[in-house]
């Protein structure tokens, strides 16, 4: 099938590459000259597993790029809209890009088209897109509008697309629903998974994936409700971690007891310095705005967001508690991306923590396997960006772990202890084993687990005195 994907951000680029992988002929459209130039030059602009492989495999064959919309729309039967929906000052989703694209698509309707919303949008957006296209001259019998929300995690987006927990298609006509089924046919009939060159999936993947057919309104709400619920799980376990710290319990033990309950599950029950990225913060604000417009005060969402913001402050208090004063302290920071597996720093809690520490006069030496250049766009030269974990740690007064990159688990602790000025590690992601840290003589502070305080003479006197007073 000839398909146009409008927008080459995280969602559009992954969707375009994966649709080509399924056997469709895809044109990826973006009017940003810089993005178009990068893609046309054969460069993968984001850090995403398997994406460079798919772009190399299909570029110039099943995947092409365009910087104008009209011709790709005319040549395509299905048009995925994957443009940005950034938050307004009031927290609502800014749909101006969606509206602009809808007007342009209307001008290219020369035979039947299915316009498919892939961006995360509020309920009623599909109806508004249809209305805008009608007002701009698209014949009512020549197009349908559907919703096909994405459930992609940055870092595993390609695998999430090809091995999804479910495929949700929101359509108000049989023709639209059938066309969406046809687009995903290689996944629904299992034929893709039998290919020798198929991208490998997790052992737990549902093959073939279940299909959920709904109305457009229900599909739009499924996306918002899903993200809100996942964010709620993260904030919930962070609140539990706070109580664990107060009573001397271990959140890892509590988390295991909760997560093995089949009704709850262990996913997203990991305490830390809070969620971030391009989806959760934006989508929760937009979902709250939708509820408000419907006359419902969704106060639970406000509490989820409040707990998330508080986690960063709790972590900063741990840093202050460990070092007493922060001005002039050199801190080694591991992780700048909002999560592992991606170079995305949008709404990154790691960036927020670093900014706060810089504001208090700290010298930061930071390492991230993928996100340093994107972090530089926000932090500028306030931070020193180094090329390795150990370069960040050398001579630092303390080590801070802010992103859950798995390579940080492999730290040579003997080398770390020798490199640090004081044996202090503050782990915002609970990556390291507390008992192992104790055996290596570290003062080790984490989230929701009992503090481990070294009694070594190399500790600052203030910290040692405070530790003894608290026993």
The residues, any chain, with a CB within 8 Å of residue 159's CB and separated by 6 or more, are 49, 50, 199, 201, 202
Neighbours of 158 (CB within 10 A): 22
Task: Please tell me which residue in 18, 279, 294, 362 is annotated as part of the active site.
Answer: 279
Euclidean distance between CA atoms 25 and 33, whole angstroms: 23
Euclidean distance between CA atoms 415 and 339, whole angstroms: 25
Q: Is 279 a catalytic residue?
A: yes
Our measurement of the distance from residue 454's CA atom to the centroid of its chain's CA atoms, rounded to an integer in Å, reads 36
Tokens of 126: 């599909």
> Among all residues, which ones are annotated catalytic?
279
């Amino acid at each position: 099938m000839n398909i146009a994907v409008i927008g080459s951000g995280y969602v559009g680029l992954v969707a375009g590459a994966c649709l080509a992988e399924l056997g469709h002929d895809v044109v990826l459209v973006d009017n940003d000259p810089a993005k178009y130039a990068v893609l046309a030059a054969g460069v993968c602009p984001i850090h995403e597993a398997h994406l460079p492989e798919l772009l190399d495999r299909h570029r110039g064959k099943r995947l092409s790029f365009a910087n104008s919309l009209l011709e790709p729309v005319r040549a395509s039967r299905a048009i995925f809209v994957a443009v940005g929906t950034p938050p307004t000052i009031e927290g609502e989703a800014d749909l101006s890009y969606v509206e602009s694209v809808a007007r342009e698509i209307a001008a290219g309707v020369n035979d039947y088209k299915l316009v498919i919303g892939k961006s995360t949008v509020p309920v009623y957006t599909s109806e508004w897109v249809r209305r805008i296209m009608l007002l701009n001259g698209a014949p009512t019998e020549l197009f349908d509008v559907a919703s096909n929300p994405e459930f992609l995690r940055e870092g595993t987006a390609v695998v999430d697309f090809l091995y999804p927990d479910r495929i949700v298609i929101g359509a108000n006509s049989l023709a639209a629903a059938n066309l969406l089924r046809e687009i995903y046919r290689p996944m629904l009939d299992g034929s893709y998974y039998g290919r020798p060159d198929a991208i490998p999936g997790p052992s737990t993947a549902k093959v073939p994936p279940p299909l959920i057919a709904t109305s457009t309104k229900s599909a739009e709400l499924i996306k918002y409700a899903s993200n809100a619920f996942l964010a709620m799980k993260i904030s919930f376990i962070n609140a539990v971690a706070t109580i664990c710290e107060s009573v001397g319990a271990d959140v890892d033990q509590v988390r295991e007891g909760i997560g093995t309950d089949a009704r709850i599950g262990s996913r997203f029950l990991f305490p830390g310095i809070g969620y971030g990225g391009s989806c959760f913060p934006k989508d929760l604000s937009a979902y709250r705005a939708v509820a408000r417009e419907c006359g419902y005060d969704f106060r639970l969402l406000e509490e989820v967001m409040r707990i998330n913001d508080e986690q960063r402050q709790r972590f900063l208090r741990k840093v202050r508690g460990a070092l007493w004063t922060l001005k002039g302290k050199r801190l080694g920071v591991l992780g700048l991306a909002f999560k592992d597996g991606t170079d995305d720093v949008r709404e990154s809690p790691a960036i927020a923590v670093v900014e706060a520490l810089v504001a208090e006069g700290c010298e930061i030496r930071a390492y991230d396997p993928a996100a340093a250049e994107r972090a530089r766009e926000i932090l500028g030269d306030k931070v020193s960006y180094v090329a390795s974990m150990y370069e960040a740690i050398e001579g630092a007064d303390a080590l801070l772990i802010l992103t859950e990159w798995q390579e940080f688990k492999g730290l040579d602790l003997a080398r770390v202890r020798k490199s640090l000025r004081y044996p202090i590690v503050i782990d915002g992601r609970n990556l390291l084993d507390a008992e192992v840290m104790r055996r290596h003589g570290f003062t080790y502070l984490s989230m929701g687990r009992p503090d481990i305080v070294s009694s070594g003479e190399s500790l600052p006197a203030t910290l040692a005195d405070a530790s003894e007073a608290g026993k």
